[in-house]
Amino acid sequence: MKILVTGATGLVGTEFIKDATALGFQINFLTTKRIKTFEEKNIKGFYWNPEIDLIEDLSCFDDVKYILHLCGFSVDKRWTKNNRQKIIDSRVKTLQLLKQTIEKNNIKINHIISASAIGLYPSSKTNIYTEEENKYEQYFLTDVIKKWEAAAQSFNSLEMKVSIIRIGLVMSIKGGVLEKIIKSMEINRIAVVFGDGSQWQSWIHIKDLSSIFLFVINKKLSGIYNAVAPNPITNFEMVRILKDNFDFLYRNNHYSRSTTLRASDRIEFYRKIFIYFTINVPKFIFKLLFGKMHEILFLSHKVSSQKLSDAGFVFEFPDFEKMIKEINQ
């Protein structure tokens, strides 16, 4: 079977393609950078430019039965007017271009699976959110996700299955939030808690996320699913666990800027500092540093993945602390 992937060269897309091809899937992918197009066994890249409504070679759709839509400009940059528009267009205009191309050229696709985000749910330290939640707060990120999901749902008119995967904080040593936290600890020699650290953070290991996409494809599941591990964690606990396991993460994943100390000495040096220096940074400091974007750092989301579990999905990494101790990528 063949899958067309957008956002294929990003953190999640790269993991998914590795896992999918290992299972025998063929992958076509769309990229906005010609230099990133390549062809090898079971993988072929194609150029597109959604800003001018261009998919250069329509053979990218040949024999494709599934589309996995992962592309999206990063939300962890300052929310300037220009970046806000990029955040929206990279998610919505890309889906619109895919739909109009499929419709105009009478291309038959069975199923589209689109990434989304749990940021749609209201921020709460007490509520547990399921896919049935329909009350949302009004702020920029919520507006983005609503438009993103509406663009994905519009594929229903083409008689395609539509799946929307609302993703939590993605954990991988190769990039994303985990890499940034660990590098910040190493460089600054402190462990930073956001405010009082009581906000809930629903997370997902990248291997489980990739497996969820494959599970949805193989089971032909449609609808909305929360892609989060079964056990959310507070920001304070997350930072504590990362601090306590920093030597392990360093030793196994080679985080280091300094070359003046031997690795074993450097591990112990940083570890001692981390044990005694955890600081709670108030919200206004982050607002000064990051502007409106600071809002996402203080969102509290306790999200349920029971719907996925009920469908038969089994998480490889359900517990954050165990995941950190077992992580090998």
Query: Mean pLDDT across the chain, nearest whole number?
Result: 88
The predicted pLDDT at position 181 comes to: 79
Task: Quote the crossing angle between the two packed helices 246-253 and 263-276, to the nearest 10°.
Answer: 150
| Distance (Å, whole) CA 283 – CA 76 | 16
CATH number of 2-172+202-232+301-318: 3.40.50.720
The predicted pLDDT at position 225 comes to: 98
Q: How many CB atoms lie within 10 A of CB 209?
A: 25
Q: Are 67 and 124 in contact (CB under 8 A)?
A: no
Asked whether residue 268 carries a pLDDT value surpassing 70, the answer given is no
**Residue 267: band (very low, low, confident or very high) from pLDDT cuts 50, 70, 90:** low
The predicted pLDDT at position 328 comes to: 47
| Distance (Å, whole) CA 327 – CA 290 | 30
| Distance (Å, whole) CA 59 – CA 76 | 34
Arithmetic mean of pLDDT, 213-233 = 98
Percent of the chain with pLDDT over 70: 85
Asked whether residue 273 carries a pLDDT value surpassing 50, the answer given is no
Pick 329 or 73 by higher pLDDT.
73
Tell me the pLDDT tens digit for each residue of 89-140: 999 999 999 999 999 999 999 999 999 999 999 999 999 999 999 988 888 9
Domain boundaries, the chain: 2-172+202-232+301-318
The predicted pLDDT at position 246 comes to: 76
Least confident of 18-22, 147-151, 171-175, 280-284: 280-284
Q: Give the number of C-alpha atoms closer than 13 A to the C-alpha of residue 91, restricted to the C-beta side.
A: 26
Tell me the pLDDT tens digit for each residue of 72-86: 998 888 889 999 999
**Residue 293: band (very low, low, confident or very high) from pLDDT cuts 50, 70, 90:** low
| Distance (Å, whole) CA 228 – CA 206 | 10
The predicted pLDDT at position 184 comes to: 75
Backbone angles phi, psi at 225, to 5 degrees: -135, 135
Q: What is the secondary structure of 259-299 as a DSSP string?
A: -SS-HHHHHHHHHHHHHH-EEEE-HHHHHHHHGGGGGGGG-
Q: Are 225 and 164 in contact (CB under 8 A)?
A: yes
Least confident of 127-131, 174-178, 225-229: 174-178
The predicted pLDDT at position 18 comes to: 97
